Amino acid sequence: MYIVTGGAGFIGSAMVWKLNSMGIDDILVVDNLGTSEKWKNLVNRRYSAYLHRDAFIERVRNRSLTGKIEAVIHMGACSSTTERDADFLMQNNLEYSKTLCLFALENGARFINASSAATYGDGSQGFDDDPDAIDALRPLNMYGYSKQLFDLWAKRQGLLGSLASLKFFNVYGPNEQHKGDMRSVVNKAFHLIGEQGVMRLFRSDHPDFPDGGQMRDFVYIKDCVDIMWWLLQNSQVNGIFNVGTGKARSWNDLATAVFSSMDQPANIAYIDMPLQLKGKYQNFTEARMDRLRAAGYTVPMRSLEQGVADYVNKYLQQPDPYL
Protein backbone atom coordinates (compact mmCIF):
# COMPACT_ATOMS: atom_id res chain seq x y z
CA MET A 1 0.00 0.00 0.00
CA TYR A 2 1.08 3.53 -0.81
CA ILE A 3 -0.14 6.34 1.44
CA VAL A 4 -0.51 9.80 -0.08
CA THR A 5 -1.40 12.55 2.37
CA GLY A 6 -2.93 15.62 0.82
CA GLY A 7 -3.93 13.10 -1.82
CA ALA A 8 -6.84 15.19 -3.08
CA GLY A 9 -4.73 18.33 -3.21
CA PHE A 10 -2.60 19.71 -6.00
CA ILE A 11 0.69 17.82 -5.80
CA GLY A 12 -0.82 14.89 -3.90
CA SER A 13 -3.49 14.11 -6.51
CA ALA A 14 -0.89 14.48 -9.26
CA MET A 15 1.19 11.88 -7.46
CA VAL A 16 -1.82 9.55 -7.33
CA TRP A 17 -2.08 10.12 -11.09
CA LYS A 18 1.59 9.16 -11.48
CA LEU A 19 1.17 6.02 -9.38
CA ASN A 20 -1.89 5.05 -11.43
CA SER A 21 0.08 5.55 -14.65
CA MET A 22 2.65 3.10 -13.25
CA GLY A 23 -0.07 0.50 -12.62
CA ILE A 24 -0.44 1.17 -8.88
CA ASP A 25 -3.90 1.61 -7.37
CA ASP A 26 -3.46 0.17 -3.86
CA ILE A 27 -3.34 3.71 -2.52
CA LEU A 28 -4.69 5.20 0.70
CA VAL A 29 -5.66 8.81 0.04
CA VAL A 30 -5.55 11.01 3.15
CA ASP A 31 -7.01 14.51 3.09
CA ASN A 32 -9.56 16.91 4.50
CA LEU A 33 -12.11 17.44 1.74
CA GLY A 34 -14.50 19.62 3.74
CA THR A 35 -16.65 21.77 1.46
CA SER A 36 -13.89 22.41 -1.06
CA GLU A 37 -13.80 21.28 -4.67
CA LYS A 38 -10.75 19.07 -4.07
CA TRP A 39 -12.85 15.96 -4.54
CA LYS A 40 -12.86 16.66 -8.29
CA ASN A 41 -9.13 15.88 -8.38
CA LEU A 42 -9.97 12.28 -7.41
CA VAL A 43 -12.74 11.57 -9.91
CA ASN A 44 -10.37 10.28 -12.61
CA ARG A 45 -8.12 8.43 -10.16
CA ARG A 46 -7.96 4.85 -8.86
CA TYR A 47 -7.31 4.26 -5.16
CA SER A 48 -8.29 1.68 -2.57
CA ALA A 49 -9.44 3.90 0.32
CA TYR A 50 -9.86 7.44 1.61
CA LEU A 51 -9.39 8.63 5.20
CA HIS A 52 -9.89 12.04 6.74
CA ARG A 53 -6.56 13.34 8.02
CA ASP A 54 -7.71 13.30 11.67
CA ALA A 55 -8.93 9.70 11.51
CA PHE A 56 -5.71 8.73 9.74
CA ILE A 57 -3.32 10.26 12.26
CA GLU A 58 -5.35 8.65 15.07
CA ARG A 59 -4.78 5.26 13.45
CA VAL A 60 -1.11 6.08 13.06
CA ARG A 61 -0.81 6.90 16.75
CA ASN A 62 -2.80 3.81 17.73
CA ARG A 63 -0.76 1.63 15.37
CA SER A 64 -4.04 0.31 13.96
CA LEU A 65 -3.24 0.57 10.24
CA THR A 66 -2.92 -2.90 8.74
CA GLY A 67 -1.00 -4.21 5.75
CA LYS A 68 2.49 -3.61 4.39
CA ILE A 69 3.20 0.03 3.66
CA GLU A 70 5.54 0.60 0.74
CA ALA A 71 5.75 4.37 1.03
CA VAL A 72 4.29 7.41 2.73
CA ILE A 73 4.23 10.38 0.36
CA HIS A 74 3.48 13.28 2.66
CA MET A 75 2.08 16.17 0.64
CA GLY A 76 -0.58 17.11 3.18
CA ALA A 77 -0.13 20.51 4.82
CA CYS A 78 -1.57 23.97 4.94
CA SER A 79 0.24 25.61 2.02
CA SER A 80 -1.10 29.14 2.39
CA THR A 81 1.79 31.60 2.60
CA THR A 82 -0.59 34.13 4.18
CA GLU A 83 -1.87 31.86 6.99
CA ARG A 84 -1.43 33.78 10.25
CA ASP A 85 -2.43 31.13 12.81
CA ALA A 86 1.06 30.07 13.87
CA ASP A 87 -0.18 27.50 16.39
CA PHE A 88 -2.24 25.80 13.68
CA LEU A 89 0.78 25.61 11.37
CA MET A 90 2.98 24.27 14.17
CA GLN A 91 0.49 21.46 14.80
CA ASN A 92 -0.68 20.78 11.25
CA ASN A 93 2.58 21.20 9.32
CA LEU A 94 5.25 20.34 11.90
CA GLU A 95 3.99 17.98 14.61
CA TYR A 96 1.80 15.98 12.21
CA SER A 97 4.79 15.56 9.88
CA LYS A 98 7.11 14.45 12.67
CA THR A 99 4.63 11.82 13.86
CA LEU A 100 4.09 10.50 10.35
CA CYS A 101 7.81 10.43 9.58
CA LEU A 102 8.61 8.32 12.62
CA PHE A 103 5.68 6.00 11.83
CA ALA A 104 6.89 5.46 8.26
CA LEU A 105 10.48 4.78 9.26
CA GLU A 106 9.42 2.40 12.06
CA ASN A 107 7.45 0.43 9.47
CA GLY A 108 10.27 0.31 6.92
CA ALA A 109 8.36 2.51 4.50
CA ARG A 110 9.85 5.07 2.15
CA PHE A 111 9.11 8.58 3.45
CA ILE A 112 8.92 11.50 1.03
CA ASN A 113 8.08 14.88 2.54
CA ALA A 114 6.97 18.15 0.97
CA SER A 115 9.22 20.97 2.09
CA SER A 116 9.20 24.31 0.26
CA ALA A 117 11.33 26.95 -1.40
CA ALA A 118 9.62 29.34 1.03
CA THR A 119 12.25 28.16 3.52
CA TYR A 120 14.81 30.26 1.62
CA GLY A 121 13.22 33.54 2.68
CA ASP A 122 14.43 36.55 0.71
CA GLY A 123 17.10 34.47 -1.02
CA SER A 124 20.00 36.37 0.51
CA GLN A 125 21.41 33.06 1.79
CA GLY A 126 21.16 31.52 -1.66
CA PHE A 127 19.18 28.46 -2.74
CA ASP A 128 21.56 25.68 -1.74
CA ASP A 129 19.86 22.48 -0.55
CA ASP A 130 22.98 21.22 1.19
CA PRO A 131 21.89 20.23 4.74
CA ASP A 132 24.86 22.13 6.14
CA ALA A 133 23.38 25.36 4.76
CA ILE A 134 19.83 25.12 6.09
CA ASP A 135 20.49 26.38 9.62
CA ALA A 136 21.17 29.89 8.31
CA LEU A 137 17.88 30.21 6.41
CA ARG A 138 15.33 32.78 7.56
CA PRO A 139 11.84 32.21 6.06
CA LEU A 140 9.66 35.29 5.50
CA ASN A 141 6.33 33.71 6.46
CA MET A 142 5.02 31.21 8.99
CA TYR A 143 4.31 28.60 6.30
CA GLY A 144 7.94 28.61 5.22
CA TYR A 145 9.05 28.53 8.85
CA SER A 146 6.91 25.45 9.58
CA LYS A 147 8.60 23.65 6.69
CA GLN A 148 12.02 24.81 7.81
CA LEU A 149 11.39 23.48 11.31
CA PHE A 150 10.67 19.98 10.00
CA ASP A 151 13.89 19.91 7.97
CA LEU A 152 15.86 21.14 10.98
CA TRP A 153 14.21 18.53 13.22
CA ALA A 154 15.02 15.73 10.75
CA LYS A 155 18.62 16.92 10.58
CA ARG A 156 19.05 17.12 14.34
CA GLN A 157 17.45 13.70 14.80
CA GLY A 158 19.89 12.21 12.30
CA LEU A 159 17.07 11.21 9.94
CA LEU A 160 18.12 12.94 6.71
CA GLY A 161 19.84 9.74 5.64
CA SER A 162 16.53 7.89 5.83
CA LEU A 163 14.06 10.19 4.04
CA ALA A 164 13.66 12.62 1.16
CA SER A 165 12.42 16.15 1.91
CA LEU A 166 11.65 18.13 -1.24
CA LYS A 167 11.84 21.92 -1.50
CA PHE A 168 9.26 22.61 -4.19
CA PHE A 169 9.69 25.90 -6.01
CA ASN A 170 6.86 27.58 -8.00
CA VAL A 171 4.79 24.57 -9.06
CA TYR A 172 2.05 24.94 -11.66
CA GLY A 173 -0.16 22.53 -13.56
CA PRO A 174 -3.51 20.70 -13.57
CA ASN A 175 -5.45 19.87 -10.39
CA GLU A 176 -4.97 23.27 -8.73
CA GLN A 177 -8.44 24.62 -9.51
CA HIS A 178 -9.56 24.29 -5.87
CA LYS A 179 -6.77 26.51 -4.50
CA GLY A 180 -8.55 29.82 -5.06
CA ASP A 181 -6.15 32.73 -4.70
CA MET A 182 -3.27 30.28 -4.12
CA ARG A 183 -3.53 28.95 -7.68
CA SER A 184 -0.50 29.43 -9.89
CA VAL A 185 -0.21 32.58 -11.95
CA VAL A 186 -0.45 30.38 -15.07
CA ASN A 187 -3.93 29.32 -14.03
CA LYS A 188 -4.97 32.84 -13.08
CA ALA A 189 -3.54 34.27 -16.29
CA PHE A 190 -5.42 31.80 -18.47
CA HIS A 191 -8.76 32.78 -16.99
CA LEU A 192 -8.03 36.50 -16.87
CA ILE A 193 -6.81 36.58 -20.46
CA GLY A 194 -9.84 34.62 -21.59
CA GLU A 195 -12.20 37.04 -19.85
CA GLN A 196 -10.45 40.40 -20.31
CA GLY A 197 -7.64 39.88 -22.81
CA VAL A 198 -5.06 41.27 -20.37
CA MET A 199 -2.65 39.93 -17.74
CA ARG A 200 -1.80 42.00 -14.67
CA LEU A 201 1.55 41.72 -12.94
CA PHE A 202 3.03 43.49 -9.93
CA ARG A 203 5.18 46.53 -10.42
CA SER A 204 8.64 46.05 -8.99
CA ASP A 205 9.62 47.72 -5.74
CA HIS A 206 13.29 46.73 -6.17
CA PRO A 207 15.72 48.69 -8.35
CA ASP A 208 17.38 45.53 -9.71
CA PHE A 209 14.16 44.26 -11.28
CA PRO A 210 11.91 45.95 -13.86
CA ASP A 211 8.12 45.71 -13.63
CA GLY A 212 7.20 42.07 -14.18
CA GLY A 213 10.89 41.26 -14.26
CA GLN A 214 10.96 39.62 -10.85
CA MET A 215 12.17 36.06 -11.40
CA ARG A 216 11.08 32.69 -10.10
CA ASP A 217 11.89 29.06 -10.78
CA PHE A 218 8.61 27.81 -12.30
CA VAL A 219 8.40 24.00 -12.31
CA TYR A 220 5.71 21.90 -13.98
CA ILE A 221 3.77 19.45 -11.83
CA LYS A 222 4.58 16.50 -14.10
CA ASP A 223 8.29 17.04 -13.51
CA CYS A 224 7.65 17.10 -9.75
CA VAL A 225 5.89 13.74 -9.72
CA ASP A 226 8.49 12.24 -12.06
CA ILE A 227 11.12 13.12 -9.46
CA MET A 228 9.06 11.60 -6.65
CA TRP A 229 8.52 8.42 -8.66
CA TRP A 230 12.28 8.19 -9.25
CA LEU A 231 12.88 8.61 -5.52
CA LEU A 232 10.46 5.76 -4.83
CA GLN A 233 12.54 3.57 -7.14
CA ASN A 234 15.81 4.74 -5.60
CA SER A 235 15.29 4.51 -1.86
CA GLN A 236 19.02 4.85 -1.26
CA VAL A 237 18.80 8.51 -2.33
CA ASN A 238 18.01 10.53 0.78
CA GLY A 239 18.30 14.04 2.15
CA ILE A 240 16.96 17.48 1.28
CA PHE A 241 16.54 18.23 -2.41
CA ASN A 242 15.37 21.23 -4.40
CA VAL A 243 12.63 20.59 -6.95
CA GLY A 244 12.76 23.23 -9.66
CA THR A 245 14.09 23.61 -13.18
CA GLY A 246 17.35 25.25 -12.14
CA LYS A 247 16.59 28.23 -14.39
CA ALA A 248 14.84 31.37 -13.14
CA ARG A 249 12.36 33.06 -15.50
CA SER A 250 10.51 36.33 -15.19
CA TRP A 251 6.80 36.87 -14.65
CA ASN A 252 6.83 38.62 -18.03
CA ASP A 253 8.16 35.39 -19.59
CA LEU A 254 5.39 33.43 -17.91
CA ALA A 255 2.65 35.77 -19.06
CA THR A 256 4.02 35.77 -22.61
CA ALA A 257 4.05 31.96 -22.62
CA VAL A 258 0.38 31.85 -21.59
CA PHE A 259 -0.61 34.37 -24.28
CA SER A 260 1.33 32.34 -26.85
CA SER A 261 -0.34 29.07 -25.82
CA MET A 262 -3.72 30.79 -26.23
CA ASP A 263 -2.69 32.18 -29.65
CA GLN A 264 -3.08 35.75 -28.46
CA PRO A 265 -0.68 38.72 -28.56
CA ALA A 266 0.84 39.64 -25.21
CA ASN A 267 -1.03 42.40 -23.35
CA ILE A 268 0.47 42.97 -19.90
CA ALA A 269 -0.58 45.68 -17.42
CA TYR A 270 1.29 46.46 -14.19
CA ILE A 271 -0.33 47.09 -10.82
CA ASP A 272 1.05 48.13 -7.43
CA MET A 273 2.20 45.39 -5.09
CA PRO A 274 -0.13 44.93 -2.09
CA LEU A 275 1.18 46.40 1.15
CA GLN A 276 1.10 43.02 2.90
CA LEU A 277 3.61 41.64 0.39
CA LYS A 278 6.11 44.48 0.52
CA GLY A 279 9.23 43.40 2.33
CA LYS A 280 8.10 39.76 2.15
CA TYR A 281 8.24 39.31 -1.61
CA GLN A 282 10.80 37.01 -3.23
CA ASN A 283 12.16 38.90 -6.23
CA PHE A 284 14.37 36.00 -7.33
CA THR A 285 14.33 32.25 -6.78
CA GLU A 286 16.34 29.64 -8.63
CA ALA A 287 16.73 26.07 -7.51
CA ARG A 288 20.21 24.65 -7.38
CA MET A 289 19.67 21.18 -8.81
CA ASP A 290 23.26 19.93 -8.46
CA ARG A 291 22.60 17.57 -5.55
CA LEU A 292 19.65 15.80 -7.19
CA ARG A 293 21.58 15.49 -10.45
CA ALA A 294 24.63 14.16 -8.61
CA ALA A 295 22.38 11.61 -6.91
CA GLY A 296 21.52 10.22 -10.34
CA TYR A 297 18.39 12.00 -11.57
CA THR A 298 19.15 12.78 -15.22
CA VAL A 299 15.72 13.42 -16.78
CA PRO A 300 15.58 16.92 -18.37
CA MET A 301 13.07 19.35 -16.89
CA ARG A 302 10.46 20.93 -19.12
CA SER A 303 11.04 24.53 -20.11
CA LEU A 304 8.52 27.16 -19.01
CA GLU A 305 7.15 27.32 -22.55
CA GLN A 306 6.79 23.52 -22.77
CA GLY A 307 5.07 23.23 -19.40
CA VAL A 308 2.67 26.13 -19.99
CA ALA A 309 1.72 24.81 -23.45
CA ASP A 310 0.97 21.35 -22.03
CA TYR A 311 -1.09 22.81 -19.18
CA VAL A 312 -3.08 25.21 -21.34
CA ASN A 313 -3.69 22.98 -24.37
CA LYS A 314 -4.23 19.59 -22.70
CA TYR A 315 -6.05 20.74 -19.57
CA LEU A 316 -7.21 24.35 -19.16
CA GLN A 317 -8.75 24.50 -22.62
CA GLN A 318 -10.46 21.11 -22.24
CA PRO A 319 -13.92 20.32 -20.75
CA ASP A 320 -12.27 18.06 -18.15
CA PRO A 321 -9.19 20.00 -16.99
CA TYR A 322 -8.03 17.38 -14.47
CA LEU A 323 -5.27 14.79 -14.58
Q: Active-site residues: which are they?
A: 143, 179
- Measured CA to CA in angstroms, residue 55 lies from 90, 133, 320 at distances of 19, 37, 31
> What's the rounded Cα separation, in Å, for the pair 243 and 165?
10
> What's the rounded Cα separation, in Å, for the pair 105 and 121?
30
Helix (H, G, I), strand (E, B) or coil at 36: coil
Who's near 131: CB < 8 A, 6+ residues apart?
155, 160, 239, 240
CA dihedral 161, 167, 173, 179 (to 10 degrees): 110
Sign of the CA dihedral with 183 first, then 188, 191, and 192 last: positive
Selection from 290, 309, 297, 282 nearest residue 116 by Cα: 282
Q: Return the exposure string of 170-197: e unless at least 16 CB atoms fall within 10 Å of the residue's CB, then b.
A: bbbbbbbbbbeeebbbbbebbebbeeee
CA dihedral 226, 230, 235, 237 (to 10 degrees): -90
